[in-house]
Amino acid sequence: MDRIDFQTEPARYRHWRLVCDGGPVAQLVLDVDPAGGLMEGYELKLNSYDLGVDIELADAIQRLRFEHPEVGAVVLRSGKEGVFCAGANIRMLGKSSHGHKVNFCKFTNETRCGIEDASANSGLTFIAAIGGTAAGGGYELALATGHIMLVDDRRSAVALPETPLLAVLPGTGGLTRVTDKRRVRRDRADLFCSTEEGVRGRRAVEWRLVDEVVPPSAWEARVAERAREAAARSDRPGPGTRGVALTPIERRFAENGVTYGCVGVAFDRTAGRATITVAAPAGLPPPDAEAARSADFWPLRMARELDDALLHLRLNEPELGLLVLRTEGDAAAVLAHDAFLEAHAADWFIREVRHNLKRVLKRLDLTSRSLVALIEPGSCFAGTLAELAFAADRSVMLAGTRAGGSNTPAAIALSPLNFGPYPMSNGLTRLQARFWGEPESVEAARARIGEPIEAEAAEAMGLVTLAFDETDWDDEVRIMLEERASFSPDALTAMEANLRFVGPETMETRIFGRLTAWQNWVFQRANAAGEQGALKMYGSGVQPSFDRQRV
């Protein structure tokens, strides 16, 4: 398969129409091109989707947040008569590799979480206007919105039929959102997820599967009314505010890596690892928030490049199982940009930049690769970039300086942004997760905000895993990386996913932990993915053959 590219823009969309007329309500219309699949061998019938459809959706959400500050409500609807969305394309799932299926579900979940984050934190309410059938992933898309409306025409229904039809789970968060978000009673959820035809009309409201049903005669007027009401509650700046164009990310692909403006990725295929280096800004931040409004504003540019790099590695380089995280540049410049983000937090654009940084750091947390941060002289693990080290499974710091190198020892520096704005999926900051059960260690770190913390102190404070002097550095790092790459990737993925998320269980951790782990397992079982499994037999008229043992 060709390289999967996560860059797109509205003029290139094949499956979505983003309709913004300068007013407070936008329309996001799903009208899938059946011939527009990301891979050959299947048609995207009945508004079913694959990863390519979700790449466009993720792009549209970002553009609504940055390019259309006048919009306070988005109506998500179908452009096809009689169907809202039939969910993930079954032929695509049946022919995809295991890794592609799992990563498809993960990206889809991250995109759904992006919709919910926009509603919760950006004053951007999404309304699902369901006319026709919303099945499987189609209903899961609706579940991500803040308000679900259903036409009461005796045909339109919502359904999660994956278990009876396909022997898999509603894996883009459906099971979890039905119970945790919609608060559907367990026995009703069990019945709903076991019923192919789904639920319609008043029962869908009674079971809290939708928020309201509307007769066809009042449909368009009621949808418009709900959108106006939601937009009126928004704290976004409204009509007349200039948005920020998300210009294309500049990058160069080569056999041995990818080069961006602020981010570089180097591949070592023999060692099974990639090194990601993030560069500090070249200078100080702009004089004010208005002057910052550009896709070249360093925190936004860096985050977009890092996000693209992580997605490229996830989908296109599956055998590079170890990511080495490095930074370079002036730590003071990073801290100055952090101070700017803090000082202008009330500005709509800066708010979106901060939430985008949060989302990209979550993507790093959820990456099924070993993460090792190397902190050396010349590094700038400061403030926002220190989050890379705190996201790592291990962080190693060089004590002192290198002969012939920089005369300034390696140091970590903290900013107020390390203590709240970038929560993980479990709702904790990375420092809180690191020091789970040790609140005094978090406060000790907070007391050192703005100070350079060198290796001995950083190790004593628990901010890094290990510190080595120049004598031991090269050998110890080499041995550590070689050892990590020698372990079973399956065991490492399971271990890392468990260790990264301590403490509270949230809807997100249930989706990305419990649900994803089970779906990962189900996707490998013959009952779903075997030659006689449900995914392969779907639509053939032949009943699948199941191994009846429960494990």
Residues 124 and 39 in one domain: yes
Same domain, 288 and 399: yes
Strand order across the beta sheet in which 263-268 lies = 252-254, 257-259, 263-268, 273-279, 322-328, 370-375, 394-399, 466-469
pLDDT at residue 21, rounded to an integer: 92
- Phi and psi torsions of 298, nearest 5°: -50, -50
Residue 542 CA to residue 545 CA, distance in Å, equals 9
Asked which of 474, 500, 526 is the last residue of a domain, the reply is: 500
Q: Are residues 204 and 284 in the same domain?
A: no
539 belongs to a structural domain: no
Contacts of residue 472, Cβ cutoff 8 Å, sequence gap at least 6: none
pLDDT at 309: 98
- Domain-embedded: residue 43: yes
The span from the first CA to the last CA of the chain, in angstroms, equals 34
Regarding whether 226 and 295 lie in a shared domain, the answer is no
291: in domain = yes
On whether residue 90 sits in a domain, the answer given is yes
- For residue 240, the model assigns a pLDDT of 85
In order of 59, 200, 261, 350, the CA distances from 359 in angstroms are 14, 35, 20, 14
The reported pLDDT for the residue numbered 551 is 82
Q: 405 with 440: CB under 8 angstroms?
A: no
How confident is the model at residue 1, as a pLDDT?
Answer: 59
Q: pLDDT (tens digit, 0 to 9) for every residue of the chain, 551 residues total?
A: 589 999 999 999 999 999 999 999 999 999 999 999 999 999 999 999 999 999 999 999 999 999 999 999 999 999 999 999 999 999 999 889 999 999 999 999 999 999 999 999 999 999 999 999 999 999 999 999 999 999 999 999 999 999 999 999 898 899 999 999 999 999 999 999 999 999 999 999 999 999 999 999 999 999 999 999 999 999 999 888 999 999 999 999 999 999 999 999 999 999 999 999 999 999 999 999 999 999 999 999 999 999 999 999 999 999 999 999 999 999 999 999 999 999 999 999 999 999 999 999 999 999 999 999 999 999 999 999 999 999 999 999 999 988 877 678 999 999 999 999 999 999 999 999 999 999 999 999 999 999 999 999 999 999 999 999 999 999 999 999 999 999 999 999 999 999 999 999 999 999 998 888 888 889 899 999 999 999 889 888 899 999 999 88
Residues 218 and 306 in one domain: no
Range of the domain at 494: 252-500
**pLDDT value, residue 96:** 92
Task: Count structural domains, the chain.
Answer: 2
Residues 6+ apart with CB under 8 A from 439: none
CATH code, domain with 196: 3.90.226.10
Q: Is residue 282 part of a domain?
A: yes
Long-range contacts of range 9-13, CB-CB < 8 Å, 24 or more positions apart? 9/59, 9/63, 9/246, 9/248, 10/59, 10/60, 10/63, 13/56, 13/59, 13/60
Judge if 215 and 260 occupy the same domain.
Answer: no
* Residue 520 included in any domain: no
Four-residue CA torsion sign, 57, 89, 183, 215: positive
Residue 2: both structure tokens together = 């060709």
150 and 289 housed in the same domain: no
DSSP class of 549: -
Q: Looking at this protein, which amino acid is placed at residue 49?
A: Y
Identity of the residue numbered 440: E
Residues facing 467 on adjacent strands = 397
181 and 314 housed in the same domain: no
Is 434 domain-assigned?
A: yes
Instruction: For residue 406, give both structure tokens.
Output: 């920089």
Cα 252 vs. chain centroid, distance in angstroms? 23
Strands (E), 236-321: 252-254, 257-259, 263-268, 273-279
Do 286 and 427 reside in the same domain of the chain?
yes
Residues in CB range of 298: below 8 A, 6 or more apart: 262, 281, 285, 337
Together in a domain, 83 and 131: yes
Instruction: Single out the residue in 187, 204, 233 at which a domain terminates.
Output: 233
Bridge partners of 454, per DSSP, are 411
Per-residue buried b or exposed e for 516-546, using 16+ beta carbons within 10 Å of the residue's own CB: beebbebbeebbbbbeebbbbbbeeeeebee
Residue 56 burial (C-beta neighbours within 10 Å; 0-12, 13-18, 19+): buried
User: Are 221 and 257 members of one domain?
Assistant: no
Secondary structure of residue 378 in the 3-state scheme: coil
Amino acid at 92: M
- Three-class secondary structure assignment of 498-534: HHHCCCCCCHHHHHHHHHHHHHHHHHHCHHHHCCCCH
Residues 378 and 259 in one domain: yes
Q: Of 198, 233, 268, which residue sits at a domain end?
A: 233
Pairing of the two strands 212-214 and 257-259: unpaired
Q: 96-122: b or e for each residue (b if 16 or more CB lie within 10 Å)? A: beeebbbbbbbbbbbbbbbbbbbbeeb
Q: How far apart are CA 258 and CA 251, in angstroms?
A: 7
Q: Is 461 exposed, middle or buried (0-12, 13-18, 19+ CB in 10 A)?
A: middle
Does residue 274 belong to any structural domain of this protein? yes
